[in-house]
Structure 1
Amino acid sequence: MSLSDASPEFPLELDQQLCFALYSTSLAMTKTYKPLLEKLGLTYPQYLTMLVLWESDDLTVKEIATRLSLDSATMTPLLKRLEAQGYVERVRGVEDERQVHIRLTDAGRVLRQSAREIPMEIYCASGSDINAMLRLRGDLVRLRASLNDYLDD
C-alpha cells in the first residue's frame, strides 16, 4: 500500500494509534508473564531465550539473537545470568573461537517441564477464544513481516 492509497484522515490521538495499541498491549503481556516467570526464576527475555533453546539446542549467540530480533551484545549479559542459574552453558566454537555456542544443561531441560503451563495461563488471562488468539497471532506475524520488508527496502 502506498501513501496515495491511504485515507487522508489519520488522527493524531494517542488511543487511535496502532503503535500505542501494540506497545501498551506488549506491556500488559509482559506484566502478565512476570508472576508466572518469577516462580521459575526467569525474566521475560530469559524465558524467550529458553523457548528458543528448547526448540533447538546448541545455538550460537548470534543465532539466538537473530531469532529474538536482538543484537548479540544484548544477549551476552542475559546468557551469563542463565549460565549462573545453571540452565545453560557457554562453549567456545572449536573451528571459530569467536563463536560462542549456548547449550542447555540438564537443569535447563528440566525447566521446560516447569514452564509447560505458562502458555495456557496466558491464554486464560486473555479472556479470548483460541481461534481469535490464533488469528491475532497470525495478523501480528504478517504485520511484523510487512514492517521488516518495508525497512529492508
Structure 2
Amino acid sequence: MNTVQKGFTLIELMIVVAIIGILAAIAIPQYQNYIAKSQVSRVMSETGSLKTVLETCILDGKTAASCQLGWTNSNLLGADAEESTAEETGQEGLKITYPTTAEAEAKIEGKFGSSAALTLKDETLTWTRANTGAWSCATTVAAKFAPAGCPAAEKEKK
C-alpha cells in the first residue's frame, strides 16, 4: 500500500508568512492613525462639555472660585509637574482662562499627555470664547488627526 503525505510545502508556508507581513505593514500604521484621531475627538468632546458649564457661570456672574465645573480627570490630558497648568480643575494639562466680565475672552485648553498617542504628545486643543459669546475650536495636532469643527493650525516650517 502506498501512503500519501499530506501537508503544506515550505514555499507555501513562506508565501503565507510574507502575505501576513505585508498586511501587517499596512494595517498597523492605519490603526495607529485611527487611534490618534479618536483620541483627538475624545478630548474635543471632553473639553467641549466644559463650554456649557463655563458659559452658565459667566452669564450668571459667578467668579472663577465659585464656578463648579464638575470636571472628571481625563487620562489623555496631562503634563510634566513643572508644566502643570491645573487651575480650578485640579487636572494637569487642562488650563481654563476665566473671563473677568461677560464680554471678555475665555479659553479652555487641553494639552495631550503621555497616555495619548505618541504623535499627539505635547499638542493642544483649545476652545476660545470670543467677546460676542461664540465659541471656536483650534488644535495644534496634524491636520489628518483634526476632527471636523476643530481645524488644525498651520505650523511654521523650519
Give the TM-score, by structure 2 length. 0.26
Higher-helix-fraction structure: 1
Give the TM-score, by structure 1 length. 0.26
Q: Which has the larger radius of gyration?
A: 2
Higher-strand-fraction structure: 2
